[in-house]
């Protein structure tokens, strides 16, 4: 069991795209995010090793699935949450609908014991998911810094 939240994002067209942030770089606090985007485009993801932003082109009828911080913590870093951002469009409005699939607020999250039985060291501690979310939302988006909250 988990909890889910849906956002309805509306990005009005913006003549000065170089002066505008659609959504600043961040990873989601979710376990997984299921994202429906319209045909406009503007979502970029960052490779874990690379230093370039990769455009995620909208494909009709498809959903984008993003790994979130909770899955990174639960998997002891085996799955890494994806850093992403949205760039405003100069001539067209854009809509996106992410569904955040989350642990419940009352859940303690930390590396699954099954993953650390073979001598692997946990790199994250047990945190109450509602505390993680509170920490996540009390800061402006700044890449993946929020996951440090759960590090040992």
Q: What are the residues binding ligand AKG (CB under 6 A)? A: 7, 9, 23, 28, 35, 37, 43, 84, 86, 96, 98
Nearest alpha-carbon partner for 38 in 99, 98, 101, 100: 98
On the 0-12 / 13-18 / 19+ scale of CB atoms within 10 A, 106 is: exposed
Q: How far apart are the first and last CA of the chain?
A: 26
Name which of residues 18 to 77 contact Fe ion (CB under 5 A): 28
| Binding partner of 9, given Fe ion, ligand AKG, none, CB within 5-8 angstroms per partner class | ligand AKG
Quick one: 100 or 111, whose CB is closer to ligand AKG? 100
Q: How far is the CB of 59 from ligand AKG (least distance, A)?
A: 13
| Binding partner of 37, given ligand AKG, Fe ion, none, CB within 5-8 angstroms per partner class | ligand AKG
Q: How far is the CB of 28 from Fe ion (least distance, A)?
A: 4
Residue that is written with structure tokens 């932003």 in the block: 53
| Binding partner of 130, given ligand AKG, Fe ion, none, CB within 5-8 angstroms per partner class | none
Q: 10 Å Cβ neighbour count for 76?
A: 17
| Binding partner of 111, given ligand AKG, Fe ion, none, CB within 5-8 angstroms per partner class | none
Residue that is written with structure tokens 């949205």 in the block: 86
Q: How far is the CB of 82 from Fe ion (least distance, A)?
A: 9
- The CA distances from residue 71 to 31, 68, 79, 92, 142, in Å, are 5, 6, 7, 34, 19
Find the farthest-apart pair of alpha carbons in the chain and give their distance in angstroms, rounded: 55
Contact set with Fe ion (CB under 5 A): 28
């Amino acid at each position: 069991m988990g909890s889910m939240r849906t956002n309805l994002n509306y990005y009005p067209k913006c003549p000065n795209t170089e002066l505008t942030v659609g959504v600043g770089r961040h990873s989601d606090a979710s376990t997984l995010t299921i994202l429906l985007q319209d045909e406009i485009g503007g979502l970029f993801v960052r490779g874990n090793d690379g230093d370039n932003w990769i455009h995620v082109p909208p494909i009709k009828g498809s959903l984008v699935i993003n790994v979130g911080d909770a899955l990174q913590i639960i998997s002891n870093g085996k799955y890494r949450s994806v850093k992403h951002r949205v760039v405003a469009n100069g001539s067209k409005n854009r809509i996106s609908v992410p569904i955040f699939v989350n642990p419940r607020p009352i859940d303690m999250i930390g590396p699954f014991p099954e993953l650390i039985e073979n001598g692997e060291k946990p790199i994250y501690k047990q945190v109450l998911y509602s505390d993680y979310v509170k920490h996540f939302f009390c800061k402006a988006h700044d890449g993946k810094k929020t996951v440090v909250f759960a590090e040992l």
